[in-house]
Amino acid sequence: MPAGLRVMGIDPGLTRCGLSVVDAGQGRQVIPVAVGVVRTPVGAALTQRLLELSQAVNDWMDEYQPEVVALERIFERGNVSTVMHTAHGVGVLMLAAAQRGIEVHMYTPSEVKKAVTGNGRADKKQMTAMITRILGLSEAPKPADAADALALGVCHCWRASTLGYEQRLRSNTLK
């Protein structure tokens, strides 16, 4: 993993959106910088909620200056309305990164779980315990959206060197 890489992990949601910033250290070390959750009022108009989400993520990007964003890929088998609202939020989050020229990498929940715990079917409790241990936190991040955002950051830090290798391999093969 590239030491010093600053990653913003985002667990997208319209009601609760987990945000984190981590720095890649030496080897597999990941250093937590910030973690939080943006909440938007359920009863507010969709446009107002998206505006609040946009303002919050823009403030975070301005303050922490991430070099890359790791975003959870939407995966839902249930309520189509929930998926659509989350998708609108993802668009706002990706736009904020694009406006700054920041690369966005998307990971499925099972990819993040496998990277962090070694088990693609790990539950929230296992994920939170591992993130707390990996980052050396004195207490577990709460709510789960915050822990998930940190997990996305860790996942990308650990996969960044592999992604760079794969990109170099593809570009050398194409020449």
Does the annotation place 72 within a ligand binding site?
yes
- Helix axes 80-99 and 46-64, enclosed angle (nearest 10): 40
Answer yes or no: 63 catalytic. no
Determine the residue type at 77. R
Q: Coil, strand or helix: which one is 30?
A: strand
3-state secondary structure 85-126: HHHHHHHHHHHHHHHCCCEEEEECHHHHHHHHHCCCCCCHHH
Strand partners, 72: 107
Matching residue, tokens 């929940």: 109
Does the annotation place 145 within a ligand binding site?
yes
The catalytic position among 59, 72, 123, 139 is 72
Task: Report d(CA 48, CA 56) in Å as an integer.
Answer: 12
Answer yes or no: 148 catalytic. no
List of E strands, the chain: 6-11, 16-24, 30-39, 68-72, 103-107
Answer yes or no: 123 catalytic. no
The catalytic position among 23, 52, 145, 148 is 145
Output the CA angle 96-28-116, nearest 5 degrees: 70
Does the annotation place 11 within a ligand binding site?
yes
Binding residues: 11, 72, 145
Query: Which residues are known binding-site members for Mg(2+)?
Result: 11, 72, 145
**What are the catalytic residues?**
11, 72, 145
